Amino acid sequence: MIDERAVIDKNAKIGSGVCIGPYAIIEDDVEIGENCKIASHGIVRRGAVLGRGVNIDSFAVIGGAPQDVSFDQKISSGVLIGDGTIIREGVTIHRATAKGRCTKVGENCFLMANSHIAHDCIIGNEVKLANGVLLGGFVRVDDHVFIGGNAVVHQNLRIGEGSIIAGNARLNLDIPPFLIVSELVDVHGINVIGIRRRGFGQAEISDLKICFQEIINSPGNPYIKAQIADEKEIAKTILGKVFLDFFKTKGKKGCVHQRHVGRNNE
């Protein structure tokens, strides 16, 4: 059902079974997959592409221009939203800064009220952002990450798969996979509960703990240590290998290391 009071550009592509509420705005060059729901006053700006079954709540703005004073508004860029993602009220997702590029949100994500995803971010599948989370530009968040309310993530960072970030955290370094992090990148060990909920067992957990002790909770450069650990085939399970693989790409800001482990407990 499409409400007659919605404002929809004639060139927008609307799939079957889509519901659009009153006063919603759908701009030119938008594609909306089948069975999507856009509540009243939701806004989908030009260049945005929604997969199937995406749910956008009131006053969310998808595909707004980047908050970059040097950005040329004439550049054609966009936002891609994966199937089944829920976008709650007041969420903002900005389009990319380069021609032909997209800010990307994966499948079955849950973006809670007033969270913000800046330009050129890449968000994996099954990611949850709680209320008020702020992601700077070019942030990458891998699959199965949870970020707590009002956490702030500096631009150009990466958060590895399966990590959990506490509310009000401030991140200025990369976070390797499966870690628990709070405050100013205080590391509290492995996200064991999250790993078990995904169906992994003690073998994977033990393997991750070994990798954690070897790479994060010991002196030295974590990138060099990870390379040595990989050559020695220390990781015995898929999760251990995911952990070590994270360090094959060095980010612009560096990553957490021994100095950040257990600082809240000192």
pLDDT tens by residue, 145-168? 999 999 999 999 999 999 999 999
Q: Are residues 137 and 255 in the same domain?
A: no
Name the catalytic one among 137, 148, 162, 240: 137
Task: Please give the pLDDT value at position 262.
Answer: 79
2 lies in some domain? no
Q: Are residues 223 and 91 in the same domain?
A: no
Task: Please give the pLDDT value at position 263.
Answer: 61
In this structure, the number of other CB atoms found within 10 A of the CB of residue 220 comes to: 12
pLDDT at 247 over 90: yes
Q: Are residues 189 and 203 in the same domain?
A: no
The question of whether 137 is a catalytic residue gets the answer yes
Q: Are residues 209 and 159 in the same domain?
A: no
Q: Are residues 24 and 91 in the same domain?
A: yes
Asked if residue 245 lies in contact with residue 229, where contact means CB atoms within 8 angstroms, the answer is no
Choose the weakest-confidence range: 79-88, 125-134, 247-256: 247-256
Domain total of the chain:
2
Mean model confidence pLDDT for the chain: 96
Q: Are residues 26 and 74 in the same domain?
A: yes
Mean pLDDT of 160-182: 97
Name the catalytic one among 120, 142, 174, 186: 120
Band of residue 265 on the pLDDT scale cut at 50, 70, 90: very low
| Angle at which helices 222-231 and 238-245 cross, to 10° | 140
Q: Are residues 83 and 157 in the same domain?
A: yes
Name the catalytic one among 94, 116, 119, 188: 119
17 lies in some domain? yes
> Which residues form the domain of 36?
7-195
The question of whether 119 is a catalytic residue gets the answer yes
Task: Please give the pLDDT value at position 259.
Answer: 87
Task: Please give the pLDDT value at position 230.
Answer: 94
Selection from 30, 34, 177, 48 nearest residue 102 by Cα:
48
Mean pLDDT of 218-241: 95
pTM of the model: 0.95
Q: What is the pLDDT of residues 98-129, one digit of tens each?
A: 999 999 999 999 999 999 999 999 999 999 99
| Angle at which helices 238-245 and 202-215 cross, to 10° | 30
Q: Are residues 53 and 138 in the same domain?
A: yes
